[in-house]
Amino acid sequence: MNAAVAALRARLQATLGADAGRPAWGAPQAMTQVLDDVRRRHDGAAGAAVAADRIARAVAAFRQDGKVAGYVQLKHVCLGAAGAEADGGCLLAAPALRERLLALAEGVPGGRRQMKCFQCLLRSYWTFPADDAGAAPHAAREGRAALRAWLVRRHRELDRSVDPKPQWFALLGQHANLLSAQPCERYGPALLRGEAAELQAASDGLAIPGDSWVKQEAVLAQAQAALALDDDPWLEVLPQLLDIAAGKAGIAVSASLSRRCIALLLRRHARCEAVALHAGLLDAALAAIGNPWQRRASWDAYVLGADGKPCELAREMVNGWLKHLLIGGFFRLYGTDGAEMRRTDYWRRYDPFILSLWVGLSAGAIERRGDECEKFRRRAAGSLLLIDGLADDDNVLMMRVGDFLAVEFGGADRALHLFRWSGLDAKLTRRLGSARSMKYFNVGALMEARVEAILAHQDEQKTGLPWERRFDDCMRPRVWQGAGGGR
């Protein structure tokens, strides 16, 4: 064996271990194992085998004076740059330390070492805590943006060098969108069709951790892709998107991300030519955002149109759905007569003029079991009252119609009572305005207020005039005046 071959064998043994001296040229499996070992040692995921405590110690030491004891410590600091610390911050959120670290990573001698530092900072980018639509501190968001810009620039610079490039580096160039402000928009349409191969290949090849924010962005990208669908395909994928937003599709979804996705679904559904009630979307909206007339500020903050302004179309859509179901559900479940459909139909006609409503239930009704009753109470949360001052089997529906409060009781033998809202005791209106999930309310105290009208649910025997006509004669002038028609 000549000296050159002996030197090569010695180098291979030092790098790969003793087995490298016995190459199995006729055994592809053995060669594959050797190749895998090379890739694992020199082309694998940065930081995968580095103990967390070593990374934490390196970051803590760097925080002291902005210095590193050598290349290995520099790599460890790069790996831990985005890690959450005890005070909730991270190294990248400190501008001076961030710039110092990026300068060190860029200036370390040797092309291979620069590539490794780039890879370690790329891993920090993948592990950066999810922003959750602005919930992260400003300094952390600024740090993430700065790191992303640095990675874009360094990838371009390293790509121009003549040094050999690992496979993951070329793959990052093919998925440069992951270093953009809309990292997963590219994958949204395919994910919506159930095709995840492209994103999975990028995740595997770039060693993106399973708990990375990338998965959260992929969830959001599907909802965003659905905005462009026509009505029929939209209605087909809506159940699937609701499952994803609820975390039922195998991906953990934070409360903030769920709310963002549902807001997009509401915005799209409100554009349908026929906006039919979708119970699943309604319940998801109530759980994530709340009752639209009790939590108007939340709706206007989260449910936005394409122009970034509150999407009134979506809010009023859910307003209508909820009033429709609560009015019908009250008379069906808690009415004590056989004429509940007439009262349901009557009040649903006034739906556009009902600003808010409350369902008052007795203790017995609150405890009533059954899927329908429990679903009704969930939907009424925030508008649900535990009533004092009534018989145990009596319940009440209160609707603010313009400047009036219409009070209907469960039994049709009890007359409608109409009160002027501005004439009610301030304590009563404050109690009704509270967004607590359950409130006590004394109907007896309400009945002591000056009543505007009392109307019985009885048709006139002589003329055959239905009670609905008498109600309209009383309600319409008041509603019209409250809506500005009397000006």
Instruction: Compute the distance between CA of residue 27 and CA of residue 441 in angstroms, rounded to an integer.
Output: 83
Closest CA to 205 of 197, 195, 213, 193: 197
Handedness of CA 71, 73, 76, 80 (dihedral sign): negative
From first to last of its 487 residues, what are the pLDDT tens digits of the chain?
566 666 666 665 655 554 444 443 344 454 445 444 444 444 455 545 678 889 999 999 999 999 999 999 999 999 999 987 766 678 998 999 999 999 999 999 999 999 999 999 999 999 988 766 555 678 888 999 999 999 999 999 999 998 899 999 999 999 999 999 999 999 999 999 989 999 999 999 999 998 899 999 999 999 999 999 999 999 999 999 999 999 887 788 888 899 999 999 999 999 999 888 999 999 999 999 999 988 899 999 999 999 999 999 999 999 999 999 999 999 999 887 656 789 999 999 999 899 999 999 988 888 888 889 999 999 998 888 888 766 666 899 999 998 999 999 988 788 999 999 999 988 888 888 776 656 778 787 888 889 999 999 999 888 889 999 999 999 999 887 655 543 3
What are the angstrom distances between the C-alpha of 239 and each of 248, 271, 355?
A: 11, 17, 30
Cite the DSSP H helix spans in 291-339. Answer: 296-302, 312-334
Other Cβ atoms within 10 Å of 85 Cβ, number: 14
What are phi and psi for residue 34, nearest 5 degrees?
-65, -45
DSSP string, 371-408: HHHHHHHHHTTTSEEEEESS-TT--EEEEEETTEEEEE
DSSP state for residue 274 in the 8-state scheme = S
pTM above 0.85, yes or no: no
- The closest alpha carbon to 80, from 96, 65, 93, belongs to 93
Inter-residue long-range contacts of 208-212, CB under 8 Å, 24+ positions, other chains counted:
208/126, 209/123, 209/126, 209/127, 211/127, 212/126, 212/127
- DSSP assignment string, 147-178: HHHHHHHHHHHHHHSSS---HHHHHHHHTGGG
- The single-letter code of the amino acid at 304 is L
What is the edge-to-edge ordering of all strands in the sheet holding 384-388? 439-442, 384-388, 354-361, 396-401, 404-409, 416-420, 451-455
